Amino acid sequence: MRSLRKMLLYILPVFLLAVVLLSQTLCGSGKRSDEDRSIGERFHHETSLTWLGALGDAFRGKPEEPPQYKTYPGAEIIELPEPVYRGLVLEEAIAGRRSVRNYSTNAMTSLQLSQLLFAAQGITGKTYDQYLRTAPSAGATYPFEIYVVVHNVENLPQGIYHYAVLEHGLALVRSGDFRDEITGAGLDQEMLGDADVVLVMSAIFNRTRHTYLERGFRYVYIEAGHISQNLYLEAVSLGLGSVAVGAFLDEKINELIGVDGHNEAAVYLQAVGTL
């Protein structure tokens, strides 16, 4: 009896997987083949969620889980002011939300930048051993890193900075004036060079794929929208103008912030400037 149970433990998972694969094959007959689908359609198809697919995922290998927090060893962390600003009520901020592409030449304050970064990915609490942030994330996997291309911020030299979530500070990645580079990589959209800062949202996909496999890609892109809306509403409350940008040359932006474009890649940009 004991040997029979042991045999079933080995056979049952293989049998279930075979059923899943066979069912997916049968269900797929008569439908459009991959050759007939566009790249976008294939992405949507391959990341679709079904009960059979979910069962099959239980037997698939998962990518290694990356660290929750990205750091730059040796980089000095520049402390940001505490994000204590209290501005518009939520309904007023929602009513005032617009995509703004024209900015003044006045510099953004470090307090304004601090508040924006807190709205994007700031820590708001803790459950068990997991810190929670301002934007919702599938399974609290938090795949996003925020890079700040600084053009015009009071008491902060121009350059590219990484937002250190745990410290609520900035780590300098590259020094210099990158207005021409970010504008060129953004298909010559002038507001990217005119803004006081451009926030680059990059995703470390395997943080989410470790739990959700290919479906995780969808969750990552959804999360970019959560973060962007937080930035929009905070900008309105701070009296700033903001616009989200999805049209950019991926390789150029990835090179600019120093990521490989595979394990970590730029997903969304947000320009913010004074009015």
Structure tokens of 157? Answer: 């030299």
- Greatest Cα pair distance in the chain: 81
Q: Is residue 164 within 8 Å of 145, Cβ to Cβ? A: no
Q: Is residue 78 within 8 Å of 169, Cβ to Cβ? A: yes
Q: Is residue 227 within 8 Å of 121, Cβ to Cβ? A: yes
Measure the CA–CA gap between 158 and 150, rounded to whole angstroms: 5
- Say how many C-beta atoms besides its own lie within 10 A of residue 253's C-beta: 25
Class of domain 77-274: alpha beta
Q: Which residues of 92-119 are buried (b: 16+ CB within 10 A; e: fewer)?
A: ebeeeeeebbebeeebbbbbbbbbbbbb
Q: Is residue 259 within 8 Å of 140, Cβ to Cβ? A: no
Structure tokens of 196? Answer: 């006081």
How would you write the pLDDT of the chain (275 residues) with one tens digit per residue? Answer: 555 555 545 565 555 555 545 555 444 544 666 678 899 999 988 899 888 877 777 778 889 999 999 999 999 999 999 999 999 999 999 999 999 999 999 999 999 999 999 999 999 999 998 999 999 999 999 999 999 999 999 999 999 999 999 999 999 999 999 999 999 999 999 999 999 999 999 999 999 999 999 999 999 999 999 999 999 999 999 999 999 999 999 999 999 999 999 999 999 999 999 99
Q: Is residue 90 within 8 Å of 233, Cβ to Cβ? A: yes
According to the model, what pLDDT value does residue 70 have?
Answer: 97
User: Computed over its alpha carbons, how large is the radius of gyration of the chain?
Assistant: 22
Measure the CA–CA gap between 43 and 47, rounded to whole angstroms: 6
Measure the CA–CA gap between 265 and 66, rounded to whole angstroms: 14
**Structural domain spans, the chain:** 2-57, 77-274
According to the model, what pLDDT value does residue 11 have?
Answer: 60
Question: In terms of DSSP bridges, do strands 169-175 and 77-79 run parallel, antiparallel, or are they unpaired?
Answer: antiparallel
